[in-house]
Amino acid sequence: MLTLRENYLRMLRGEIPEFVPSFFESAFSLGSLAGDAFTTPINAPTGVAYSPWKVKFVGQAETNFGAIPEPNNFILHDITKWRDVIKNPDVSDVDFEKHYKKVVEGKDRENLLVSFGGGDYFQTLVSFMGFTEALMAMYEEPEEVYALLEYVSEYYVKILKYQLQYGKPDVYMIADDCAAAAAPFFSVDMYKRLIKPFHKKHADLALESGCLLEKHDCGRSESFIDDWIDIGITGWNPAEITNDLRAIKKKYVGKLALEGGWDTRARACQPDASDDELIAAIDEYVDTFAPGGGFMFFVMAAGKPDDERVQRKGKLINDYFFSNVRDYYKTH
């Protein structure tokens, strides 16, 4: 039997895994370090965190302490003045070899994956300026936006090289949300001109180091898929249902793994839905996305975690995965 590590890598290579990968059975000994001390914080467990540029991020219990830039407290108000405001962090005295070797120390690398991440250029621009002003700058002053991101990339690429050299990840995830639920934040053309060149820098370095590539992009981001594949990305999470996932599965089978695709808003996921409704929905989900590989099982029940009905459904999903889904490729 393949290890969780090799089975997951097989999925990302476009091959059919031996068994269905799942978040219930994580292949990762270390999750993506998009929240590494030297990159953008993804969590603010104490309620406050700071980016390398000292942008204040906040979090709260209601959002599981996910970190977002503090509203109305941005550091850049005029994109044409960025050179006076944005100064890349000085990390010349950091022992990166010691830092990243300690991060991966003791990990079961034979059986489990190590994954690092970053490359969040659009989100970094938003953290500097706020969402509306960042988008306006991209439309009104694209040359200045590009120049700023090129400067920021000097720092981000430096960190990436240390991650690759000393952490030696199996997988690298470019984590940069570029879409809302209904539509992308900007056009494909604008992505190609202002964001993709920097994503490609990260992709090229990671691929040269032997990593496989994933893309994290929430919302309706399907219009960027061809560009992701162009730079070598072979896995996409969370692959939300606002995208035409059935068509995407058919078009990109063997080229892009869908790591998600579960509709938590569906009737079958609700706390008062019957077990039969939930199991029927799981069967349809698996039969739709598992054939041909390129699929990671990511089913969860909707509702509050402390709701006993949600907890019971969570156990049902877990049990059903191991009894009826995990060995899908042995029976189909």
236 belongs to a structural domain: yes
Q: Is there a domain that residue 62 lies in?
A: no
What average pLDDT does the segment 172-189 reach? 96
200, 301: one domain: no
223 and 275 share a domain?
no
Do 266 and 306 reside in the same domain of the chain?
Answer: yes
Residue 123 pLDDT > 80, yes or no?
A: yes
Whether 267 is covered by a domain: the verdict is yes
Is the pLDDT at 68 greater than 80, yes or no?
yes
Instruction: Give the pLDDT of residue 319.
Output: 96
pLDDT confidence band for 34 (50 / 70 / 90)? low
Query: Alpha-carbon distance 85 to 310, whole Å?
Result: 48
Strand partners, 37: none
**What is the Cα–Cα distance from 34 to 121, expressed in whole angstroms?**
12
Selected residue with higher pLDDT from 35 and 332: 332
- Rounded to an integer, the average pLDDT of 140-148 is 98
Is the model's pLDDT at 32 over the cut of 80? no
For residues 48 and 64, the model is more confident at: 48
How large is the average pLDDT for residues 127-139? Answer: 97
Q: Are 106 and 81 in the same domain?
A: yes
- Is residue 19 within 8 A of residue 12, CB to CB? The reply is no
Domain end residue (candidates: 232, 254, 276):
254
Q: State the Cα–Cα distance between residues 45 and 72, nearest whole angstrom.
A: 21
Residue 48 lies in a domain: no
On whether residue 47 sits in a domain, the answer given is no
Do residue 249 and residue 270 come from a single domain?
Answer: no
Q: What is the mean pLDDT of the chain?
A: 95
Give me the CATH number covering residue 195. Answer: 3.20.20.210
What does the alpha-carbon distance between residue 213 and residue 8 come to, in Å, rounded to a whole number?
12
Work out the percent of the chain whose per-residue pLDDT is above 90: 87
Residues 229 and 83 in one domain: yes
Domain assignment present for 45: no
Q: Is residue 234 one of the residues assigned to a domain?
A: yes
Share of the chain above pLDDT 70, in %: 99
- Domain range holding 195? 77-254
Average pLDDT over residues 243-263: 96
Q: Is residue 170 located within the same domain as residue 290?
A: no
Asked whether the predicted pLDDT for residue 33 surpasses 80, the reply is no
Residue 226 lies in a domain: yes
Q: How many CA atoms lie within 13 A of 79 on its CB side?
A: 24
Same domain flag for 298 and 201: no
The answer to whether 121 and 176 have CB atoms below 8 angstroms apart is yes
**Same domain, yes or no: 188 and 304:** no
H helices of 76-193, in order, are 82-85, 96-104, 121-129, 131-140, 142-162, 188-190
For residue 63, is pLDDT > 70?
A: yes
| Structural domains of the chain, count | 2
* Among candidate residues 151, 196, 142, 148, the one with its CA nearest the CA of residue 174: 196
Are residue 119 and residue 163 in the same domain, yes or no?
Answer: yes
Q: How many CA atoms lie within 13 Å of 69's alpha carbon, on the beta-carbon side?
A: 22
Residues 109-130, mean pLDDT to the nearest whole number:
96
Of 206, 228, 254, which marks where a domain is finished?
254
- Asked which of 192, 223, 254 is the last residue of a domain, the reply is 254
pLDDT given for residue 64 in this prediction: 79
Average pLDDT over residues 20-43: 85
Same domain, 13 and 97: no
pLDDT at 35: 63
- 245 and 99 assigned to the same domain: yes
**pLDDT value of position 303:** 85
Please give the pLDDT value at position 266.
87
At 305 the pLDDT is: 82
